[in-house]
Chain A
Amino acid sequence: MGDYKFAKDKLAEVLSSLGDYQVFAPTPAGDVVRFLEVKDPAAVTLESANSTVPPKELMFPETETLFKYRLGDTGLDPSVPDASARRLVFGIRPCDAMAYTIVDNLFSWDFTDPYYLNRRENTTLVGFACGDPCANCFCPSMGGAPASEKGLDALMFDLGDTFYVKTLTDKGDAFAKAAGLDAAGDAESKAAEKQAEEALGKVKRSIDTAGIPEKLPSLYDHPFWEQFSDRCLSCGICTFLCPTCHCFDIQDEAEAFNARRARMWDTCMFAEYTVHTSGHNPRPTRKERTRNRISHKYSYFPEKFDVIACVGCGRCINNCPVNIDLLDILEKSKQAEGKEAKTA
């Protein structure tokens, strides 16, 4: 674990020296930023805001083949990712890295999911601290920070014309060695500390989550949900762009003689999410689905795993077409009067 640095104008060089890894970095296309494999190191920039689609798609791709099968096969051949491959995510924000640590709980719970976990194992996460948090970020309220180290192998800071890199794990050290980074001194680490403190002060929005997980079940029948669900479009923007949302559907796609079983992102906001084979839908309207999503992330998930399934990245707030504001919902839930929770 050490302190390193490199000059900003050497960014492309540093990336080029990581030929041993499959490198992913934030890639802007107009206003949309997405983590894509780096084809041209000179095109990588860390100047844009956080990616639109979170890097969860690097561990948990939107569509993924679980296994393929052909007519006449006698066994299955799972398409599990190689745990010993070498991948590197360059420029992941602390909120997204923290999100991985939250989702890890789910994918190693009742079934250890090799598709997700092998990717987690084979990936080095080189984080990028936020110097200027966006208007709707609230990571400190969720246990994070603009320079949080949770889940990262290394953390970079933009110090003007230098990047300061603090390695946190062996994987991080391996990255620093592969990239041939120079050692950094006290000046850089002190500047980074100062930046982290200032950035924390720049975060504008917050919520005190104390009591929310316990309160939400008592608001099951409360009409306050309707003031949000009335305008919900039931689309998948909040869920697909959320770094901690992790639901998926599994479907077989068959042709005449061969097929694959694939999983793809699903969202509890779609009307057909919980439709039973009988045709009955236990969450027929947006009220039930909105209530369910918030309750899952802020009550049921923490009940199981002791952590709220939210990192305060603000993507849901920024991208909701009808301005359903998560922090507004949580504030209103604190003010609403609950009833005794129903018991089975």
Chain B
Amino acid sequence: MVDLKELQDKAKEVISRDDVRRLIGWQRGTYGFESAPIVVTDASDADKLIFDPTCVQNPASFITLEEKRPVPRGQEPDTRKVAVMVKGCDSRAIVQQLVEKAYPRENMIVMGMPCRGVIDRRKAAALFGDVTPDEVKLDGDKVVVSLNSETKELARGDILADKCMRCRYPNPLVSDELMTEEVEKWGADEFADVDEFEKMSPADKWKFWEEQFSKCIRCYSCRNVCPMCYCVECVVAKLKPQWTRRSTDISENAAYHVQRAWHLSGRCIECMECQRVCPVDIPIMTLNRKMTRDVKEMFDYEPGVDVEAEPLLACYNPQDPEDYIM
């Protein structure tokens, strides 16, 4: 259990340092079970920080979202550090970004938050309706929601996100300091969801995806929220030449999603944010989970776990499988 006052004091300490420029964490949302990422630049904002089961977003995405402005002549670039609070799944993004040399390790101060799960807002809305709780916390095996001076206890599986029930990494894999004690792993992940999908015939698979991709409005929220999608110019935005057209034809929508899943193979760290943010409920992770499982099986590789590892597609093994190659 995180002591909020301790957390905020620690954050105040960090952001007040001369060599720290900003601190990324979570704050209370404006309605319902929402939380919002916050970038703290001044110690006075540190008491807005929270950490509870509503903290769904992945702060690692905001490290790479920050634009690099050109430095005016005569000025030096600001090389101060960035502090970031991360849960277990979020920390994998930092590890993978370090593997890909997105930024130097010395530039980051990672405040690790061992996590026992975050809530699924849809489940919360279905259970509670359009209300704003006073407090949401985890107590042992229960999720406790306080509302209008009443508390309701729920089984974790009833309100937590599906990803949390099979979490493989509840404790951060990289951190400079842990803000609370490590937690014991509770879930196992056999990729049963991927196995289930693979039972479908090719024709049924396409029928499924055609329906899903036809819904896509190409808002690119999945791409933008992803901590691993940080190319300055994404291939779908390229115009010279244009690979994927902007029209929301099934051909272009399918190509976009396949491209993105392809670019994430061996890189996706399964924070599942892409699927959460999709406004039209496309089960994007069905593609990414398949790649995660196959990458593990074929190449014995798991992204976002070992900072010393090489990126999957930047290395090879002379004994790599080649079962369909003639």
Binding site for B on A (CB under 8 A): 29-32, 34, 52-53, 62-63, 134-136, 226, 230-231, 233-237, 240-241, 249, 251, 253, 262, 264-267, 270-272, 284-286, 317, 319, 321-325, 327-328
Chain B residues near A266: list those with CB within 8 A. Answer: 246
Interface contact B224-A233, CB-CB below 8 Å: yes
Query: Interface residue tally of chain B, by bracket?
Result: 35 or more
Q: How far is the CA of A327 from the CA of B281 in the complex (A)?
A: 26
Chain B residues near A241: list those with CB within 8 A. Answer: 279
Q: How far is the CA of A134 from the CA of B57 in the complex (A)?
A: 24
Known: A249-B246, A319-B279. A231 touches B31 (CB 8 A): no
Q: Give 28 A-B contacts (CB < 8 Å), ordered by A residue.
A: A31-B122, A32-B281, A34-B215, A62-B217, A63-B249, A134-B130, A231-B38, A233-B65, A233-B221, A235-B223, A235-B225, A235-B277, A236-B218, A240-B279, A249-B246, A251-B247, A264-B246, A264-B247, A284-B69, A317-B30, A321-B273, A322-B36, A322-B37, A323-B35, A325-B29, A325-B31, A327-B30, A328-B30
> Using a Cβ cutoff of 8 Å, how many contacts connect chains A and B?
111
Contact with A along B220-247 (1 / 0, CB 8 A): 1101110000000100010000000111
Chain A residues near B248: list those with CB within 8 A. Answer: 62-63, 264
Chain B residues near A271: list those with CB within 8 A. Answer: 237
Chain B residues near A52: list those with CB within 8 A. Answer: 279-280
Binding site for A on B (CB under 8 A): 29-32, 34-39, 57, 61-62, 65, 67, 69, 122, 130, 215, 217-221, 223-225, 233, 237, 245-249, 273, 276-277, 279-281
Chain B residues near A31: list those with CB within 8 A. Answer: 122, 281
Q: How far is the CA of A31 from the CA of B279 in the complex (A)?
A: 10
Q: How far is the CA of A287 from the CA of B32 in the complex (A)?
A: 26
* Contact residue among B32, B122, B130, B220 (Cβ-Cβ distance under 8 Å from A235): B220
Interface contact B36-A323, CB-CB below 8 Å: yes
Interface contact B279-A233, CB-CB below 8 Å: no
* Contact residue among B69, B219, B247 (Cβ-Cβ distance under 8 Å from A63): B247
Q: How far is the CA of A249 from the CA of B248 in the complex (A)?
A: 12
Interface contact B225-A321, CB-CB below 8 Å: yes
Chain B residues near A322: list those with CB within 8 A. Answer: 36-37, 57
